[in-house]
């Protein structure tokens, strides 16, 4: 009889459950399930049920709160799968949490940083940008020390906020917008869409520039060597729309959080092996 060795990696976001399989070596292509019209827990259960014949474990990160996590744990365990919740703590895998209260850092941010740190070389630092409902930007030095970060509204949230809080401005469907890259919009709909997009891109560029200078300064003060190279890593549902409007160099990685979950699972497997 074959042994189930796959791990189901799940990113439980505000709008989508994103997932892939990890077989102790390779990741499958990331897939996503929308949970707008059904409860996230129902969508999660359907996913678990679909993988009960192939997986023996789950590693997940969630922004959906304690009630969802309690339900997710019971569903996985009822299906015979062990489960790891990647919650925020002082150190997780390769990243030292920089928050003064480590448990208050969004766990999805921490996992994205772990994934980002897997993609850089020794003596490199990284800035991780996750563009979703919210936009988060976090700086990680070459030692894996998180220096801190920022949170501000994502593109769709910015568009909705402007439309919902003004009487005369139209409500916008992001999928139908045409953006004016130079800001020279010639109608109101285009002006709102372009303004929100370009302001978000400019904010990302400006904040990353500040963080990069700090990372470079910190590396020089710490070692006296040449300044560290800083990689900018972009992920999230809004990343593809943003990328053409960013003025600096960014590497887009759709599965950054999955890489972080994979690293957490690899670490768990190593600890288990040592203890056996």
pLDDT at 253 exceeding the cut of 60: yes
Write down the pLDDT at residue 5. Answer: 76
Q: Are residues 68 and 159 in the same domain?
A: no
Tell me the whole-structure pTM to 2 decimals: 0.90
Q: Are residues 138 and 223 in the same domain?
A: yes
Q: Are residues 91 and 15 in the same domain?
A: yes
**Domains in the chain: how many in total?**
2
Q: Are residues 201 and 261 in the same domain?
A: no
Q: What is the CATH number of the domain that holds 237?
A: 3.30.420.40
Distance between CA atoms of residues 241 and 243, nearest Å:
6
For the annotated catalytic residues, the residue numbers are 108
CA 97 to chain centroid, in Å, comes to: 15
Residues spanned by the domain of 142: 121-252
Write down the pLDDT at residue 223. Answer: 53
Q: Are residues 223 and 138 in the same domain?
A: yes
Express each pLDDT in 159-204 by its tens digit. Answer: 888 877 666 666 666 666 678 889 999 988 888 889 999 999 999 9
Q: Are residues 21 and 115 in the same domain?
A: yes
Residue 228, Cβ density class (10 Å: 0-12 exposed, 13-18 middle, ≥19 buried): buried
Q: Are residues 196 and 223 in the same domain?
A: yes
Longest dimension (CA), the chain: 68
The H-or-E segment that residue 180 falls in is: none
Q: Are residues 73 and 137 in the same domain?
A: no
Write down the pLDDT at residue 1. Answer: 34
Write down the pLDDT at residue 2. Answer: 42
Mean pLDDT of the 127-156 span? 95
Q: Are residues 241 and 265 in the same domain?
A: no
Distance between CA atoms of residues 104 and 75, nearest Å:
26
Q: Are residues 157 and 216 in the same domain?
A: yes
Asked if 128 and 111 count as a contact pair (C-beta separation under 8 A), the reply is: no
The residues with which 58 forms a beta bridge, in sequence order, are: 8, 83
Distance between CA atoms of residues 167 and 245, nearest Å:
29
Express each pLDDT in 2-46 by its tens digit. Answer: 445 799 999 998 888 999 999 878 899 999 998 876 799 999 999
């Amino acid at each position: 009889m074959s042994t189930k060795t796959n791990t189901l990696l799940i990113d439980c976001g505000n709008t989508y459950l994103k997932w892939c399989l990890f077989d102790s070596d390779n990741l499958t292509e990331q897939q996503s399930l929308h949970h707008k019209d059904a409860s996230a827990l129902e969508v999660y259960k359907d996913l678990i049920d679909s993988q009960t014949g192939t997986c023996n474990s789950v590693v997940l990160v969630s922004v959906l709160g304690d009630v969802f996590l309690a339900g997710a744990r019971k569903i996985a365990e009822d299906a015979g799968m062990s489960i790891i919740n990647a919650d925020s703590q002082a150190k997780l895998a390769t990243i030292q949490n920089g928050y003064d209260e480590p448990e208050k850092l969004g766990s999805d941010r921490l996992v994205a940083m772990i994934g980002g740190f897997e993609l850089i070389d020794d003596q490199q630092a990284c800035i991780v940008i996750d563009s979703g409902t919210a936009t988060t930007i976090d700086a990680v030095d070459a030692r894996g020390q998180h220096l801190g970060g920022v949170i501000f509204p994502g593109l769709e949230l910015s568009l909705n906020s402007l439309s919902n809080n003004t009487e005369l401005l139209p409500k916008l469907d992001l999928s139908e917008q045409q953006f004016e890259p130079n800001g020279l919009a010639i109608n109101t709909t285009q002006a709102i869409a372009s303004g929100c997009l370009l302001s978000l891109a400019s904010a990302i560029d400006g904040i990353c520039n500040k963080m990069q200078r700090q990372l470079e300064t910190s590396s020089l003060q710490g070692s006296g060597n040449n300044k560290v190279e800083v990689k900018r890593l972009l992920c999230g549902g809004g990343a593809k729309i943003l990328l053409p409007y960013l003025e600096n160099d960014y590497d887009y990685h759709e599965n950054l959080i999955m890489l972080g979950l994979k690293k957490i699972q690899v670490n768990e497997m190593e600890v288990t092996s040592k203890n056996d």
